[in-house]
Amino acid sequence: MRTSALALALIAAPLAAQEAPQPRLAAGETVEVEIRGDLNGDALPDLAYVAAREDMRELRVVTSYRSATDLGENVAQVLSLDPYPLGDAVLKLRDNVLNLEELTGGTTAVFSTHRFRWDAKLSAMRLIGLDATLYSRTYAHDGMEASWNLLTGDLVTRSLKLNKGPGDAAYAKTREKRRKKPSRPIRLEKSPDGGDLLGWPSAK
């Protein structure tokens, strides 16, 4: 049986080059930011991107798979984001953990970092950490911050007081509290936002 030149080329080419996912956009959508890497540990390239239009933003994560017969893409996991951020989101990937950083709000802003990792039992990306800081961009009032490790259930909160003393820091961290906030695994698309974690009135 003869093997075609095309078949030989596909065999020789890296799987990552053959099956790299591409952003899928509806009419009027653009890619705000994207990142590629191996999210689910199968040595195939995966894709995370933020799609945006005038009144909508979504984080979409597409993981590749390899079966005995083919290569393909799983259905995208989608997390709705604030449609009116104070700048583009930032995506980072390190040690199979996907970080989403974004700044939302107005003169009172919330900077949040979501950390997601593939969960083999869920066959999906899950939230493993969430950090949030609320502060005044005009230094008009105090702020607060929180850090939640969903793997251990540890929640750390701090008050941020406007710094009236010497030094360049705008805020001084005070009143640190530590407690447990256990949670069942939360899939990426069900993740709370930074305002939810802080209990900010604008939270959903």
- Give the pLDDT of residue 10: 37
- Give the pLDDT of residue 124: 96
Task: Let me know the angle formed at the C-alpha of 49 by 78 and 198, rounded to the nearest 5 degrees.
Answer: 60
- Give the pLDDT of residue 2: 44
On the question of pLDDT at 133 being above 70, the answer is yes
C-alpha to C-alpha distances, 150 to 23, 81, 127, 128, nearest whole angstrom: 29, 20, 7, 5
- Give the pLDDT of residue 201: 65
What is the pLDDT confidence band of residue 204, given thresholds at 50, 70 and 90? very low
- Give the pLDDT of residue 20: 76
Q: How far is CA 175 from the centre of its chain?
A: 28
On the question of pLDDT at 8 being above 60, the answer is no
What is the pLDDT confidence band of residue 69, given thresholds at 50, 70 and 90? confident
Interval 148-174: pLDDT, tens: 999 999 999 999 999 876 666 889 999
Cα–Cα distance for residue pair 97/114, rounded to 1 Å: 10
- Give the pLDDT of residue 165: 67
Cα–Cα distance for residue pair 189/180, rounded to 1 Å: 23
What is the value of pTM for the model shown?
0.86
- Assign 6 to helix, strand or coil: helix
**Mean pLDDT, residues 44-49:** 96
